[in-house]
């Protein structure tokens, strides 16, 4: 655990250093830029609350990808599942008239259902026709993107709006803020905790993990790998759908055009950097949300364009992943040396 | 008859980038590299091609810049996946992220625009009119007057087929994917073969990118590769990398791409017509998977 933390922090540090070199090459002051970046994301209370709220979709889609990858299901469909979940929750929120304590859970369930069904379609195609879920989920992303674009432009478009968007959802379905912190953050933390227990403590999670490491062994050991695959796809789809639902209910309260473009590959990015660990997904999700959130503030005080955060993210992913193996060897050797010397001195 | 010619020309236009990307990817497929970075290479190529064409007012330099940009992505892939031995799947995803981020950043940084950049200063790649063929009634409209890169793509099919199946390099390339240990023990560096395959992939994806941005639209839009790299990947998997199969399947995808554009005039919502190529990919995968069940397949996941 400590080893992971140390290597993770070293990886982040090296990546930030490389980012600083890139900024120097472009003629910007890296210290000033980083100071502004983190001031507008983590170091002040109001930006911190925004960062946490923005981290919700990253962490949830990251969880979705982490659990899928660790279980051996190549679910790359988080963007599509997120959109379908968001659309389902939006439609529920427009047409259902219920008091808030009932409406919010119903909408959360609708969002999860929307995502799970979209992922379930990929699972069905895999099980019935042996179609590779890797390509299927990618194509379903494009289709979901176009389908939701159609849904908000034709049947569910707000009357008189200039650009395609749905009318706002019933205000009873809006997720409230308490003490400046949006409650969607709490829901996210609950989802992380449940996922952690499910994946690390429950029998189902054990079977999933074994299936991810060696599916032949899992099958010989008596696991129903097809059933597990379906369960993994539905669960991870539901997590991505929940992310979409929370974006709508905590943020714009309606489905706007281009909603999905911002979250396209973020979940997969976080899962890769976190090496499919659940706690690591939470931490890296918040960290990447901080970079995205801080970038806008950074643009205001320095003259560095906010788009540099996109480049910085990609550098972080490549460097953290590439350095992981190397750093772990170094830390291992270092702790071994310490242990060997320990009793002698 | 005009409709038919329009459909065929639409098919060729839609097929060209997929064909070039898939031919590039077929080299890495044979070499045993799990390369999913075609999407990022194409996008970078598309941006660099526009940059080169606009800066130097010359389409040829534009194409060269597109290839160079795509090659830089291939070099990063080589650095991480071959030299540092990072997981190929993760490297590919990270590279695609990098391409998406870097092109948006560079768009803002060099042209001071967000979203899209179009300017009369961008010189498009010309269409080639073949003197005598042009005069043939219907065939002339199809065989002549296509974009230069279309002809390059058609030649690349034969070139790739020749390179993979008729040369010593091609034999080694296939051996690298089929049995790397065997190739290594007979004194050929597998890493070197894989590096070359990635560089070839970079060149072809750069051409695909140049076609996307300078071929028929003459501008750059954020994320304009729009999944073409992924469709290329699907094409490679469907035909197990065979260049002739790639040409055929790309034309089929191109046909549905063109059909989508054609259907736009018929009152069907544009979002549904835009879905056609992706649905066609799913349908092709369905046909392939149900037919393949008996055969032993190359595991790609």
- A110-162 tens-digit pLDDT: 999 999 999 999 999 999 888 888 889 988 998 998 899 899 888 888 888 78
Asked if the C-beta of B155 comes within 8 angstroms of chain A's C-beta atoms, the answer is no
B3 close to A (CB below 8 A): no
Residue in chain B closest to A321 (alpha carbons) equals: B86
* Residue A236 pLDDT > 90: yes
Question: Which of B79, B109, B106, B115 has its CA nearest to residue B94?
Answer: B79
Interchain CB contacts (distance < 8 Å): A and B: 123
Judged against a pLDDT cut of 50, whether residue A167 lies above it is answered with: yes
Q: Locate A15 and state its tokens.
A: 């990546």
List, in sequence order, the alpha helices (H) in chain A: 2-25, 30-39, 45-70, 78-95, 100-129, 133-153, 183-200, 203-213, 215-220, 225-250, 266-273, 278-301, 308-344
Which H or E run contains B237? helix B228-239
Q: How confident is the model at residue B293 (pLDDT cuts 50, 70, 90)?
A: low
- Report the alpha-carbon distance of residue B290 to residue B223 in Å, rounded: 33
Question: What percent of chain A has a predicted confidence (pLDDT) above 90?
Answer: 31
Please check whether residue B16 touches A, CB under 8 A.
no
Q: Which of A184, A170, A175 is nearest to A92 (CA)?
A: A170
Q: Is A125 on the interface with B (CB under 8 A)?
A: yes
Residue A80 scores a pLDDT above 50: yes
Q: Which residue of B has its CA nearest to A326?
A: B84
Residue B43's pLDDT is what? 94
Tell me whether residues B93 and A139 touch, CB distance under 8 A: no
Residue with tokens 């054990």: A206
- Contact, B45 vs B206, CB < 8 A? yes
Whether B44 contacts B103, CB under 8 Å: yes
Other C-beta atoms closer than 10 Å to the C-beta of A94 total 18
Average pLDDT over residues A33-52: 87
Percent of chain B with pLDDT over 70: 96
Residues in chain B: 301
Residues of B in contact with A308 (CB under 8 A): 105
Instruction: Report yes or no: A257 and B271 within 8 Å, Cβ to Cβ.
Output: no
Q: Quick check: A318 and B98 CB within 8 A?
A: yes
pLDDT at B294 over 60: no
Shortest CA distance from A73: residue in chain B: B301
User: Which of residues 193 through 212 in chain B touch A, CB cutoff 8 A?
Assistant: none
Mark yes or no for CB contact B275/A318 under 8 Å.
no
* B76, B108, B275: residue with CB nearest A143: B275
pLDDT mean over B18-32: 93
Say yes or no for a CB contact (<8 Å) between A313 and B289. Answer: no
The partner residue sitting opposite B97, judged by closest CB among A133, A149, A313, is: A313
Dihedral sign, Cα of residue A281, residue A286, residue A288, residue A289: positive
| E-strand stretches of B247-294 | none
A261: nearest CA partner in chain B = B223
- Per-residue pLDDT of B40-88, as tens digits, reads 999 999 999 999 999 988 899 999 999 999 999 999 999 988 888 888 8
Predicted pLDDT of residue B94:
85
Closest CA to A59 of A293, A271, A324: A271
Residue B178 forms contact with A (CB below 8 Å): no
Of the candidate ranges A147-161, A162-176, A328-342, the one whose mean pLDDT is the lowest: A328-342
Question: What is the rounded CA–CA span in Å between residue A165 and residue B115?
Answer: 20
Average confidence (pLDDT) over A338-342: 76
Asked if residues B209 and B43 have their Cβ atoms less than 8 Å apart, the reply is yes
DSSP run (H or E) holding B247:
helix B243-263
How far is Cα A114 from Cα A234, in angstroms, rounded to an integer?
Answer: 10
Q: Name the band, by pLDDT with cuts 50, 70 and 90, for residue B1.
A: low
pLDDT score recorded for residue B301:
42
Is a pLDDT exceeding 50 seen at residue A195?
A: yes
Give the model's pLDDT for residue A342.
65
Residue A266's pLDDT is what? 84
- 3-state class of A294 per DSSP? helix
Query: B34 and B194 in contact (C-beta within 8 Å)?
Result: no
- Does residue B234 sit at the A interface (CB-CB below 8 Å)? yes
> Is the ipTM reported for this complex over the cut 0.85?
no
pLDDT confidence of residue B300: 46
d(CA A266, CA A243): 12
Each residue's pLDDT tens digit, B189-240: 889 999 999 999 999 999 999 999 988 788 888 888 888 888 898 888 888 8
Which segments of A78-202 does DSSP mark as H helices, in order? 78-95, 100-129, 133-153, 183-200
Question: Would you list the domain boundaries of chain A?
Answer: 51-287
Q: Which residues contact B66 (CB under 8 A, 6 or more apart)?
A: B45, B46, B48, B49, B52, B206, B207, B209, B210, B213, B214
Alpha carbons A186 and A56: distance in angstroms, whole number:
9
Q: Which chain A residues have a beta carbon less than 8 Å from that of B91?
A: 318, 321
Chain B residues with CB inside 8 Å of A146's CB?
Answer: 271-272, 274-275, 278
The confidence band for B135, taking pLDDT boundaries of 50, 70 and 90, is confident
Work out the mean pLDDT of chain B and round it to a whole number. Answer: 86
Is A318 part of the contact surface with chain B (CB cutoff 8 Å)? yes
Q: What is the pLDDT of residue B297?
A: 47
Q: What is the CATH number of domain B2-292?
A: 1.10.3470
> Is A22's Cβ below 8 Å from some Cβ in B?
no
* pLDDT number for residue B206: 94
Is the CB of residue B100 less than 8 Å away from at least one CB of chain A? yes
Question: Do residues A114 and A241 make contact, with C-beta atoms less than 8 angstroms apart?
Answer: yes
Give CA separation, B186 vs A230, A335, B171, B189, B190, in Å. 45, 41, 13, 9, 10
Contact B254, B16 (CB under 8 A): yes
B103–A contact, CB cutoff 8 A: no
Query: What does the domain layout of chain B look like in residue ranges?
Result: 2-292
Task: Please name which of B195, B154, B156 lies closest in space to residue B172, comparing C-alpha atoms.
Answer: B195
Which chain A residue shows the shortest CA-CA distance from B269?
A150
Residue B139 has pLDDT above 60, yes or no: yes
Cα separation of A159 and A173, whole Å? 21
Q: Any idea which of A79-88, A295-304, B47-56 has the lowest mean pLDDT?
A: A295-304
The pLDDT of residue A235 is above 90: yes
Measured distance CA(A196)–CA(B229) in Å, rounded? 35
Q: What whole-number distance in Å separates Cα of residue B32 and Cα of residue B11? A: 30
pLDDT tens, residue by residue, B230-244: 889 888 888 888 899
C-beta neighbour count of A4 within 10 angstroms: 16
Nearest Cβ partner of A314 from B98, B109, B289? B98
CA distance B142 to chain A (A): 30
B80–A322 C-beta distance less than 8 A: yes
Q: What is the pLDDT of residue A181?
A: 84
Over residues A55-77, the pLDDT tens digits come to 999 999 999 999 999 998 888 88
Nearest-CA residue of chain A relative to B233?
A: A135
Query: B-chain residues within 8 Å CB-CB of A68?
Result: none
pLDDT value of position A140: 92
């Amino acid at each position: 655990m400590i080893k992971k933390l140390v290597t993770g922090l070293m990886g982040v540090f090296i990546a930030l250093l490389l980012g600083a070199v890139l900024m120097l090459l472009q003629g910007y002051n890296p210290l000033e830029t980083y100071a502004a970046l983190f001031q507008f994301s983590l170091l002040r209370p109001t930006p911190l609350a925004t960062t946490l709220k923005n981290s919700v979709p990253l962490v949830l889609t990251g969880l979705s990808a982490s659990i899928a990858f660790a279980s051996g299901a190549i679910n790359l469909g988080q963007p599509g599942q997120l959109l379908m979940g968001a659309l389902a929750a939006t439609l529920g929120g427009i047409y259902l008239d219920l008091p808030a304590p009932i409406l919010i859970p119903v909408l959360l369930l609708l969002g999860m259902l929307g995502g799970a069904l979209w992922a379930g379609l990929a699972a069905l195609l895999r099980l019935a026709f042996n179609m590779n879920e890797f390509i299927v989920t990618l194509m379903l992303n494009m289709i979901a993107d176009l389908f939701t674009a159609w849904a908000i432009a034709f049947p569910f478009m707000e009357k008189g709006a200039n650009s395609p968007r749905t009318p706002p959802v019933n205000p009873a379905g809006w997720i409230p803020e308490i003490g400046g912190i949006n409650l969607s953050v709490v829901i996210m933390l609950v989802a992380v905790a449940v996922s952690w227990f499910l994946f690390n403590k429950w029998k189902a999670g054990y079977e999933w993990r074994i299936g991810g490491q060696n599916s032949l062994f899992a099958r010989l050991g008596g696991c129903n790998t097809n059933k597990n695959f379906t369960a993994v796809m539905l669960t991870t789809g539901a997590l991505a759908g929940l992310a979409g639902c929370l974006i709508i209910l905590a943020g714009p309260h309606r489905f706007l055009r281009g909603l999905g473009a911002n979250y396209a590959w973020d979940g997969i990015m976080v899962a890769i950097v976190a090496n499919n660990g659940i706690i690591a997904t939470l931490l890296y999700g918040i960290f990447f949300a901080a970079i995205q959130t801080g970038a806008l503030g950074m643009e205001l005080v320095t003259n560095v364009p906010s788009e540099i955060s996109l480049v910085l993210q990609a550098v972080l992913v490549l460097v953290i992943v590439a350095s992981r193996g190397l750093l772990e060897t170094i830390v291992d050797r270092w702790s071994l040396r310490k242990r060997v010397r320990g009793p002698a001195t | 008859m005009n409709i038919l010619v329009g459909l065929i020309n639409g098919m060729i236009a839609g097929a060209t980038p997929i064909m070039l990307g898939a031919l590039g990817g077929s080299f890495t497929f044979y070499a045993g590299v799990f390369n999913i970075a075609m999407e990022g290479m194409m996008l970078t190529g598309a941006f660099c091609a526009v940059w080169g064409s606009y800066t130097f007012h010359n389409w040829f330099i534009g194409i060269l810049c597109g290839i160079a940009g795509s090659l830089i992505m291939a070099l990063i892939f080589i650095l991480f996946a071959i030299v540092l031995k990072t997981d190929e799947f993760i490297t590919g995803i990270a590279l695609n992220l990098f391409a998406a981020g870097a092109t948006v950043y560079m768009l803002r940084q060099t042209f001071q625009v967000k979203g899209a950049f179009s300017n009369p200063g961008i010189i498009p790649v010309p269409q080639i009119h073949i003197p005598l063929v042009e005069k043939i009634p219907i065939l002339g409209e199809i065989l002549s007057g296509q974009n230069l890169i279309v002809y390059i793509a058609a030649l690349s099919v034969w070139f790739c087929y020749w390179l993979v199946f008729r040369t010593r390099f091609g034999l080694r390339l296939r051996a690298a994917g089929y049995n790397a240990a065997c190739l290594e023990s007979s004194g050929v560096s597998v890493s070197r073969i894989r590096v070359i395959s990635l560089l070839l992939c970079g060149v072809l994806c750069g051409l695909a990118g140049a076609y996307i941005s300078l071929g028929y639209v003459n501008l750059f839009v954020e994320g304009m590769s729009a999944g073409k790299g992924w469709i290329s990947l699907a094409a490679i998997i469907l035909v197990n990398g065979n260049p002739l199969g790639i040409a055929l399947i790309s034309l089929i995808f191109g046909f549905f791409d063109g059909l989508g554009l054609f259907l736009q005039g018929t009152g069907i919502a544009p979002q549904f017509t835009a879905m056609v190529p992706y649905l066609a990919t799913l349908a092709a995968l369905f046909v392939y998977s149900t037919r393949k069940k008996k055969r032993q397949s190359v595991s790609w996941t």
